[in-house]
Chain A
Amino acid sequence: RKEVEQDPGPFNVPEGATVAFNCTYSNSASQSFFWYRQDCRKEPKLLMSVYSSGNEDGRFTAQLNRASQYISLLIRDSKLSDSATYLCVVGNSGGSNYKLTFGKGTLLTVNP
């Protein structure tokens, strides 16, 4: 099982649609979880951290299921500007080291 695995995509949705991305991770001891957004030819930027209780930021909702080692991102009422690649990121701590592992990303295109 890959360390961090995401839906391969791509996802093509109309404006206003709801879209969900899934991500699984292999290390049950993983301690921190994030969703990053990357626009074409740009650097990744943090979209939101993912907490055990789940969290919401406007149209975006992130969920974490530790038992199933599963993370999700839900985008409601999608906008053209949401078109980007969404990266699932998992953090693990080992002594003084802190390792972040990135999924390969899921490409989302929102169409007018």
Chain B
Amino acid sequence: NAGVTQTPKFRVLKTGQSMTLLCAQDMNHEYMYWYRQDPGMGLRLIHYSVGEGTTAKGEVPDGYNVSRLKKQNFLLGLESAAPSQTSVYFCASRRQVFGNEKLFFGSGTQLSVL
């Protein structure tokens, strides 16, 4: 049972390049999330999904797109990377049951945009 797996762990992009971050979970969770974490800013929600085929905007969605074609995968895309997108990205998942259900996080992706 791998939990939540993020790939890649590190990436350096040039401004204007595109890339996709992959998040995979093997716990059959309904909810999946993409966060970014910047110094002094805490974790901020980019996009999230409440089930296969659904996506919704979070707090800071601009410049990102997502897809949830399969329940176990949640992809985060950067169409044209900008230096402001340099950050650590975390994927997370949880069960659908409301209440004190914990988030399971991936180990993070360190992205630098030059």
Contact = CB atoms under 8 A, between A and B. Distances in A.
Interface string B62-95: 0000000000000000000000000000100000
Interface stretch (A12-20, A70-78, A98-106): A98-106
Given A93-B98, A98-B98, A44 B31 contact: no
Interface of A: 31-32, 34, 36, 41-46, 49, 51, 87, 93, 96-100, 102-105
Contact of B105 (A31, A44, A96, A104): A44
Given A43-B107, A96-B50, A97-B56, A34 B102 contact: yes
Given A44-B90, A102-B42, 13 more contacts: A34-B102, A43-B105, A46-B103, A49-B100, A87-B43, A96-B50, A98-B50, A98-B98, A100-B33, A100-B45, A102-B35, A104-B42, A105-B42
Contacts of B2: none
Interface-central residue, B41, B45, B98, B103, by most chain A CB under 10 Å: B103
Interface residues of B, number: 21
Q: SS class of chain A's interface: helix, strand, loop or mixed? A: strand
A43 B50 CA distance: 21
A49 to B, nearest CB: 4
Interface in B35-53: 35, 40-45, 50
B99 A32 contact: yes
